[in-house]
């Protein structure tokens, strides 16, 4: 809930914008740190979820590493002060330039997605007289029971090393002199709310770990990726994800020996709830079907999730106190029907100039913004709850 002072303050701001609750971010990070620390687990923040510099600084201060998917993310991590030894680099398509850059930085590990990529990393490392630490990203064929657009660990997908390539890759890796195979890696999908899925992942991970050990690999770490889902329906009731239950599932089901480091790559669960997308009602009208339509000054160019995944975000009229409720379609400014944040939602009457908050927008919100229609990229304000400062 935003205080009336903050609402007043927001009325003076140019919208649309992202508002980040820094207090909630810190409490979330502390909770994740405590729950993972209990088992000695290492968490890398998936930078793709949100690369806002103030947020990233806070994450760095809490002792997390980063999980990157591009050379620019690796560079940004290092510029933000993360030790290269805390940086992992996944990504299904890494360019030669990106690979060379990351080898030179001596990052913790590449998460390598194919036999061909393994050879390329080895060749590039040989060319510059260096050695790279590599983990195999394995596709375990586990259904994450989430939206198909964000599922990554099933057989028919572009991600990871398939069961078909596994024997060949295990046979060849030992002959490559410029890579060390230091671990195995998985990431099966995002916004996973059926936690049983992580038990299935553990079972597959145990078998695959055992397989590589039996083939003579000295695996120092296992990385289980990210994916922990958050509550988009009732963010106020569940502002902090249940990290305890999540890490506990791995502690109970993973069977990889106590000397093996266990790593994770969490994105959404660390930053999702601390952000909300604030925009202003430009116009209201009734369409030919007799429905109320409210048009915001924000759009899919700043928050694309509803358009791309038909995702639900809870919405609040920040100026609606005491007004009668009606059903609304909430649209953005872009000339595409998909640019609709919600249909048929009940809100206190919306009037021109009202501020609307779209919740749970801290992850994959500003990070996915585009300049379509020549829109400006959205601004960000960082709110300190105690002092009421922005
Ligand atoms: N590790 C890898 C290799 C990944 O590809 C991802 C996310 C993560 C970790 C972090 O996953 P998380 O903990 O955030 O679930 N734009 C979509 C989500 C795409 C996720 C892509 N990969 C959305 O807005 O829902």
* Range 68-98 burial, b when 16+ CB lie within 10 A, else e: bbbbebbebbbeeebeeebbbbbbeebeeeb
Residue 69 CB-half CA count within 13 A: 16
- Distance, CA 188 to ligand 1 centroid (Å)? 9
| 106 alpha carbon – ligand 1 mean position (Å) | 24
* pLDDT of the residue at 301: 98
In a mutational test of the pocket of ligand 1, which residue from 46, 277, 370 has the highest number of ligand atoms less than 8 Å from its CB? 46
pLDDT of residue 81: 98
- Per-residue pLDDT tens over the stretch 175-191: 999 999 999 999 999 99
Calpha distance 336→341 (Å, rounded): 12
pLDDT in tens, 219-262: 999 999 999 999 999 999 999 999 999 999 999 999 998 899 99
Ligand 1 pocket, CB under 6 A: 46, 49, 67, 90, 150, 187, 190-191, 225-228, 265-269, 305, 309, 364
Report residue 309's pLDDT band, with 50, 70 and 90 as the boundaries. very high
109 C-alpha to center of ligand 1: Å? 18
**Which pairing describes strands 355-358 and 275-286: parallel, antiparallel, or unpaired?**
antiparallel
The rounded Cα 262 to chain-centroid distance in angstroms is 19
In tens, the pLDDT along 134-188 reads: 999 999 888 888 888 877 778 888 889 998 899 999 999 999 999 999 999 999 9
Q: What percentage of the chain reaches a pLDDT higher than 90?
A: 91
* H or E element, residue 123: helix 115-127
Asked if residue 157 lies in contact with residue 139, where contact means CB atoms within 8 angstroms, the answer is yes
Quick one: which of 219, 190, 193, 216 has its CA closest to 205? Answer: 219
Backbone angles phi, psi at 241, to 5 degrees: -65, 160
CA 204 from centre of chain: 23
Torsion of CA 77, 66, 215, 210, to 10 degrees: 180
**Nearest-CA neighbor of 32 among 299, 195, 268?**
268
Ligand 1 center from residue 266 Cα (angstroms): 8
**How many angstroms separate the alpha carbon of residue 49 from the centre of ligand 1?**
7
The number of the ligand 1 atom at minimal distance from the alpha carbon of 229 is 15
């Amino acid at each position: 809930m935003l205080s009336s002072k903050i609402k007043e303050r927001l009325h003076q701001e140019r919208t649309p914008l992202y508002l980040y609750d820094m207090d909630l971010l810190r409490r979330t990070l502390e909770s994740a740190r405590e729950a993972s620390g209990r088992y000695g687990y290492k968490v890398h923040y998936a930078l793709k979820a949100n690369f806002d510099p103030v947020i990233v600084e806070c994450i760095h201060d809490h002792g997390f590493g980063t999980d990157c998917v591009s050379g620019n993310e690796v560079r940004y991590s290092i510029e933000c002060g993360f030790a290269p030894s805390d940086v992992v680099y996944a990504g299904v398509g890494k360019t030669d330039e990106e690979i060379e850059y990351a080898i030179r930085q001596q990052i913790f590990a590449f998460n390598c997605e194919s036999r061909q990529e393994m050879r390329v990393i080895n060749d590039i490392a040989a060319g510059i007289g260096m050695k790279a630490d590599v983990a195999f990203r394995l596709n375990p064929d586990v259904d994450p029971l989430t939206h198909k657009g964000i599922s990554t660990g099933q057989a028919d997908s572009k991600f990871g090393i398939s069961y078909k390539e596994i024997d060949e890759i295990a046979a060849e890796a030992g002959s490559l002199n410029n890579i060390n195979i230091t671990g195995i890696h998985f990431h099966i999908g995002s916004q996973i709310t059926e936690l049983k899925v992580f038990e299935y992942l553990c079972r597959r991970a145990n078998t695959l770990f055992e397989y590589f050990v039996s083939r003579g690999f000295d695996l120092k770490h296992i990385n289980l990726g990210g994916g922990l889902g958050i509550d988009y329906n009732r963010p106020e009731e569940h502002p902090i994800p249940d990290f305890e239950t999540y890490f506990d599932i791995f502690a109970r089901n993973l069977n990889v020996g106590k000397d093996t480091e266990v790593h994770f790559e969490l994105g959404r669960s660390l930053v999702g709830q601390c952000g909300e997308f604030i925009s202003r009602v430009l116009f209201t009208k009734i369409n030919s079907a007799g429905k109320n339509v409210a048009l915001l000054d924000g759009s899919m160019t700043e928050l694309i999730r509803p358009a791309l995944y038909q995702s639900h975000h809870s919405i609040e009229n920040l100026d609606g106190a005491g007004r009668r409720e009606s059903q609304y379609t909430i649209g953005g400014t872009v000339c595409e029907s998909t640019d609709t944040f919600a249909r048929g939602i009940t809100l206190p009457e919306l009037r021109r100039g009202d501020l609307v908050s779209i919740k749970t927008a801290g992850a994959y919100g500003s990070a996915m913004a585009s300049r379509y229609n020549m829109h400006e990229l959205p601004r960000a304000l960082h709110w300190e709850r105690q002092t009421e400062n922005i």
